[in-house]
Amino acid sequence: MRCADSGRPVRSRWTWTGVEVNLAAAICAAQFAVAFTVRWVGTFDDDDHGAGLGGGFAAVGLLCLLVFGPPLLAVLGLLHAVTFTMPAATLARLVTRRAPGPEGAWHLGFVLVLGTFWAALAVVLLGLAPIGVPALLIAVSGVPPALGVARTRWRERVSGRPPAGRRIWLRSALAGFGGCLLVIVAGTVALATGVIQEYEPPKLGAEQLTGVWHGDHGAVLRLRADGRAELTALPAQPEFGDVATKEFTRCDGTGKWFLDTSGRYDPYADGHALERRDGVVVRVGDCGHDTYWTIGGTVAHPELFVLFGDPDSGDLRILKQD
C-alpha cells in the first residue's frame, strides 16, 4: 500500500484504467490532428502535379473530413495508446517494484524504447529515412500521452478522484482544433508574406529536356535533339476514349516530340487547371493519342508528369531525368 499526499491509501494498479486509456488516446488524437495539419501546410510550396479539389468535389471532401475525421482520429489515438503508452506504463509499474527511481521516469524511458522499435519497423516496412523527421516523430510520439497519464495519476493520488471521461475528450478536441487553427493561420500568413514561396514550375528549353527520362515499371523516354522520341513501356493516352479516363496504354517504339509553351496541347488547359504550364508532347503514330507530359519539379531536378483521368482523382505518372 502507498499513501497519497492527502493521507489516503492508494492501491497499486497493474491493469489499465478506462480513464488512463481514454486520456492517452485523446492526447494522441489531438497530436495526430495537429501533425496532419502541419504536413498539409508543408505542401503549400509543393507541386500538386495538376491535381486539385475543385467545386462540388471540394465541398464533399470537406464534409467527409468533418464527419469521418474525428472518429478516425479517435481510433488512431486508441491504437497508439494500446501499443505505446499503456504497455510502457505496465513495464514501468513492474520495474519500480524492483528498481529505484520514479515511476514517471521509467514510463518515459519505456515509451521511448517502444517508440524506437515502432520507428525502426516503419523504416523497414515503409522505407522511411532512419534519421528523418517522420521516424523521429514516431519515436517520440508517446511522450505527450505518457506525461498526460503521469499528471493524471498524480492528481488522482492527491484528490482521490479520477477525471471524467467526457471532459478528457472534450478538452482534447478543443486543444486539437486550436492547434490546427494556429498552424493554418501561421501557414497562411507565411504564404502571404513570402516566408513560404508558392511553387512555380521551371522554365526549360528543348536542350534541357533532351536526354533520358525514367518512370515506374520500366518506363523510359529518350528525347533526341532532332525531335525524335524513343519509348519503352511509356504510358500514353489510349487510342479510344476521352481524356477523363484513367485507362492508359504503354507504348514501345519511336515517335516525335516537341516543346509546347502555349498550353495548346494541354488537355486540361481549359478545364480544371488553374494555370497553363509548359509541357512535352509525345506523338507515336501507331500507339495511342498524343500524350502531354507537363514539366514539373525544379530546374535542378526536373520532372515530366501526366495525369490520366480527372484531376481530382486521376492516375499520376512521373518521369525523372537521369
**Whether residue 121 is found in the same domain as residue 167:** yes
In angstroms, the CA 200 to CA 85 distance is 43
Model confidence pLDDT, tens digit, residues 137-176: 888 998 999 888 888 777 777 777 766 666 888 888 899 9
Model confidence pLDDT, tens digit, residues 88-141: 988 888 888 888 878 888 888 999 999 999 899 988 888 877 788 888 888 899
Beta carbons of 168 and 149 less than 8 angstroms apart: no
Q: Which domain holds residue 124?
A: 2-193
In angstroms, the CA 220 to CA 213 distance is 6
Beta carbons of 296 and 242 less than 8 angstroms apart: no
At residue 184, the pLDDT reads: 92
Model confidence pLDDT, tens digit, residues 222-257: 999 999 999 999 988 876 655 555 578 888 889 999
pTM value surpassing 0.75: no
**Whether residue 181 is found in the same domain as residue 302:** no
Cell of 241: 476514349
Beta carbons of 138 and 115 less than 8 angstroms apart: yes
In angstroms, the CA 150 to CA 162 distance is 12
Is 186 within a domain?
A: yes
34 contacts: CB under 8 Å, gap ≥ 6: 176, 179, 180, 183
Beta carbons of 27 and 152 less than 8 angstroms apart: no
**Whether residue 165 is found in the same domain as residue 281:** no
Is 201 within a domain?
A: no
Q: Single out the residue in 133, 164, 193 at which a domain terminates.
A: 193
**Whether residue 144 is found in the same domain as residue 248:** no
Looking at the structure of the chain, the number of domains it has is 2
Residue 140's H or E segment, with its range, is helix 133-140
Beta carbons of 266 and 277 less than 8 angstroms apart: yes
**Whether residue 86 is found in the same domain as residue 160:** yes
246 contacts: CB under 8 Å, gap ≥ 6: 308, 309, 314, 315
At residue 232, the pLDDT reads: 92
**Whether residue 245 is found in the same domain as residue 316:** yes
195 contacts: CB under 8 Å, gap ≥ 6: 189
Q: Single out the residue in 150, 167, 193 at which a domain terminates.
A: 193
**Whether residue 235 is found in the same domain as residue 292:** yes
Task: Give rounded-to-5 percent helix, strand, coil for the chain.
Answer: 45, 20, 35
Q: Which residue has the higher pLDDT, 24 or 15?
A: 24
At residue 60, the pLDDT reads: 62
In angstroms, the CA 50 to CA 303 distance is 13
Beta carbons of 211 and 321 less than 8 angstroms apart: yes
Grid coordinates 487553427 are at which residue? Answer: 181
**Whether residue 171 is found in the same domain as residue 316:** no
- Amino acid letter for position 278: D
Model confidence pLDDT, tens digit, residues 173-228: 899 999 999 999 999 999 888 888 888 888 999 999 999 999 998 999 999 999 99
User: Using CA of residue 112, residue 115, residue 121, residue 123, what is the dihedral sign?
Assistant: negative
Q: Single out the residue in 166, 193, 220 at which a domain terminates.
A: 193
